[in-house]
Structure 1
Amino acid sequence: MRPLPRPTRRQAALLGAAAVLCAAAGGSALTGHLGVALTVLAVFLAGLLGLVLLLARRLGALLAANRKTQRDVRSVLDQTQRRVLGAVEEMLLAAGDRHRELTDALAAQQKAAAAGTDRLLRAQTSEVEALVQLFQGFTPRAPMPSSGGFALNPTDLLDLLHLIRSRRPRLVLELGSGTSSVWIAYALEQTGGRLISLDHEPMYAEKTRSALAEHQLTGVAEVRDAPLRPVVLDGRSFPWYDVDAVADLRAVDLLLIDGPPEKTGPDARYPAMRVLEDKLADAATVVFDDAHRHDEQQALRRWVETIEGLTQEGEALGRHAVLSYRRIVRQHGPVDEISSRSSG
């Protein structure tokens, strides 16, 4: 059994007082003093009644405090429950919104993927059709180098060779050599023209020379090494082909701008028309590859705005734009003629 807890000092005093009163009442009764005994007993009962009332009051206060605590706890629980339900509802609503967003995003991605796949299939079909037409027009004397990548793709090559067949240029200048050099050389072999290609990379230049030799086209096409040198235009320096490589050229009927590569610097191809305008024939065609890129679009716009006689032929087809150049010859007026005769 657990021992009873020791009473406090107040409890011990009350118990002692009760014991004294009980002893006094008993002693008075035994000695015949009934009045005293009754008085003591009345005092004892009055004290007991006061104690009971005090206990009842304290118990009432405890019960009231307990009820208040229960009400507070219930209020806290209700608030917590409402907050939890509100948070769960917000989570469910947010989850629903997120689900709709994800569903819409997935549907948009699927639609974009389907459209992209469709465009890719159409583009592949166009490239295959162009490649078939290319090989129908020529019978290569050796395996042809691959097209695409950094080289002109089959659709652009087909357009370029059509220009060569229809306009029959006597001299073609190509900036950048590679697969296109072989195809152009085959076309010029049929039309009686000549190709000069520039390349700033000796390794690629030698690779193109080997390909031309394998196809027995060295009598039609020549690849010249042209390392990049600083060219100053409009107060700005550009890395561009060494101009000594084209010092002997005149009357270029068709100019193909397919270099330098974009990695050599911003606006890498802008100097082409500014440097080579004097090398063009009085009536020439300019083919500008990668005309869909930002730098090339800016260069194209500036050329057309600043170079007299240069106009774009319609919208860009594929990755290249075609421009026509007509040299503007200034006629001397009567005043100029009189001045000329007077000075003579």
Structure 2
Amino acid sequence: MILATEKLLTLARKEAESRHGIVSGYVIGSAAGGDPVFGGTADVDLVLIHEYEPALLREIVPLSDEVHLDITHHSKRRYERPRELRVDPWQGPAMCEPIFLHDPTHFFEWAQASVRGQFHRPDNVLARSKAFLRRAHTSMRELEGEQRWLRGWLRALLETSNAVASLEGFPAAGRRLMPQLESKLTAVGHPEIHGRFLRLLGAERFVQSEAEEWVTSWTSAVNAASKLSSDPELAAGRRDYYLGGYLSMIEDGSAVQILWPLLSTWDRAIHAISPSGKPRLHWPLVLDTLELSIDHASRREAELYDLMDQVEGVLENWAERVGA
């Protein structure tokens, strides 16, 4: 049974208050926006700020079969220079409109006030967008060998696209990132960036009728990987969270919108199970179909670099237009 948003926030607050050494706790993402449920499942993105360096960076805490807490752990030290966080492309937006759950010393309130101050000023918006583009270039330079090439390339593709999407507000993320990205890029006046994002993913070769078969194979891979890996993204709760979203989009006739999160999590699962010799179920065929296998790496990298150049021009034109 899916719980109401207020009940989810109450459970998240209790979790924050039950932990030792917690300075502050706040909720971000879809739960903070009041829309956590999708495809019959939900997560609550809870950030806990610790007095000292946390032992874990991330953990998944199930609340029911359909709902879990996705907890990110930060050190208090991370927030000591909040004006720098204002132009961090992920952290800045996360701190802009969260829900405060636990802040007895008002530490997070202080940090958040500095982040929100002039957050939407054009030069700060541009700084976050440029930071995404720099990260994309770094991701491309750090592309690893055959087994991990796709992971870095997908990350660079999302960072490049979010460089433009962030001109309109917060970056796209999570299982609904593809429809979010389309909406944001259209709103900022650059739907052509979304079109190139889709083409780079091989969307024109994706067949809606094959989506359920791909998701079935994805589920098998994630099930196998969850027994071999401690990666929080492969935990059972995350599997059901993504699966609910995938099936909902397939039923709506928008299966292409699952591609980026499906490929990203599937790649993680394949990397986890490869040393065990377990079968890779459909994965090579998927990569060949989308032309995202290592055989196509050189062309895909060149295409992504070309998109980066286009995005750089978009940012320059935007800055000139708004006086950033």
TM-score normalised according to structure 2 size:
0.27
Q: Which of structures 1 and 2 has the larger relative contact order (alpha carbons within 8 angstroms, sep 6+)?
A: 2
TM-score normalised according to structure 1 size:
0.26
